[in-house]
């Protein structure tokens, strides 16, 4: 299946109950040849309305961090753990919630082949649900963010704080971890560049350049 065929098929998906209230399936966007892919949690209200990832308040903060890390959004590919908005509708109006394990598992039928077609060097997991899905089930975001981990779908994966979490933390004063987000994006990008420009005859360890970068 080509990337466009995969996207078109995903856009008709009814595999989990999130399909019932969605406006758009938010498949992802950006450069499918990028060595760096960002994987968030899932679409919110704005993303559901527009069909694009990270376009609301959290998205604006992420854009700012991407630029501060020396990148542009068009350079990279951005997608999510689940492609439809997860919300609690029990009060009558939707309140965003993390995707359940069942929804995450159902949506892997799109995320896994999507990553398989892009073949990124580095995956940056944005927030805990993404890290738990792609790195390790019991991933501890506050303790383990910013470090390289082996990953089945890329040469390495790193996780960082979610911009929605940072926005909430900022309300309590300080930068809420924003500088860590910028730092982690820059680190992930550097690793992606390093891993995509092999030196002729270099060994795996030399290629990695940094002792803490696993080359799988
Ligand atoms: N939060 C996410 O995790 N993904 C989006 O696309 C938007 C907000
Ligand atoms: Fe399908 Fe994923 Fe949407 Fe569930 S969240 S309906 S699995 S596309």
**pLDDT, tens only, 8-57:** 999 999 999 999 999 999 999 999 999 999 999 999 999 999 999 999 99
Give the model confidence (pLDDT) of 133-180 as tens digits.
999 999 999 999 999 999 999 999 999 999 999 999 999 989 999 999
Q: What is the pTM of this model?
A: 0.93
Atom of ligand 2 nearest to the CA of 10: 8
Tokens read off for 57 = 């308040």
Tokens read off for 29 = 């966007």
Which residues, 6+ apart, have CB-to-CB distance to 183 below 8 Å?
69, 146
Atom of ligand 2 nearest to the CA of 109: 7
Query: Ligand 1 in contact with 208 (CB < 6 A)?
Result: no
Give the model confidence (pLDDT) of 97-108 as tens digits.
999 999 999 999
* SS3 state of residue 96: strand
Cα distance between the two ends of the chain: 26
DSSP state of 84: S
CA 34 to chain centre: 13
Query: Ligand 1 in contact with 79 (CB < 6 A)?
Result: no
- Per-residue confidence (pLDDT) for residue 197, from 0 to 100: 85
Pairing mode, strands 77-80 and 36-40: parallel
| Radius of gyration from C-alpha coordinates of the chain | 17
Q: Which domains does the chain have, with CATH numbers?
A: 3-12+20-201 (3.40.470.10)
- Ligand 2 centroid distance, CA of 180 (Å): 31
Report the residue among 18, 24, 27, 43 best suited for mutation to probe ligand 1: largest number of ligand atoms under 8 A from its CB.
43
Atom of ligand 1 nearest to the CA of 163: 1
Put the strands of the sheet holding 122-126 in their side by side order: 29-30, 77-80, 36-40, 122-126, 156-160
Q: pLDDT-based confidence at 216, cuts 50/70/90?
A: very low
- Per-residue confidence (pLDDT) for residue 202, from 0 to 100: 62
pLDDT value at 94 more than 50:
yes
**Lookup result for tokens 């966007």:** 29
- Ligand 2 centroid distance, CA of 171 (Å): 32
């Amino acid at each position: 299946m080509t990337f466009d065929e995969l996207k078109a098929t995903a856009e008709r998906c009814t595999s989990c109950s999130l399909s019932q209230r969605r406006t758009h399936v938010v498949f992802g966007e950006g450069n499918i040849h990028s060595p760096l892919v960002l994987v968030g949690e899932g679409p919110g209200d704005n993303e559901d309305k527009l069909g694009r990832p990270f376009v609301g308040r959290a998205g604006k903060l992420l854009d700012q961090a991407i630029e501060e890390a020396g990148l542009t959004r068009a350079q990279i590919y951005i997608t999510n753990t689940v492609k439809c908005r997860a919300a609690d509708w029990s009060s009558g109006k939707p309140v965003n919630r993390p995707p359940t394990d069942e929804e995450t598992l159902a949506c892997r039928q799109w995320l896994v082949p999507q990553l398989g077609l892009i073949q990124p060097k580095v995956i940056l997991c944005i927030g805990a649900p993404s890290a738990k899905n792609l790195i390790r089930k019991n991933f501890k975001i506050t303790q383990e963010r910013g470090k390289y981990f082996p990953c089945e779908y890329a040469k390495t994966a790193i996780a960082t704080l979610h911009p929605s979490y940072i926005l909430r933390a900022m309300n309590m004063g300080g930068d809420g971890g924003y500088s860590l987000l910028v730092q982690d994006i820059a680190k992930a990008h550097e690793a992606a560049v390093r891993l995509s420009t092999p030196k002729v005859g270099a060994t795996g360890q030399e290629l990695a350049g940094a002792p803490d970068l696993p080359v799988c």
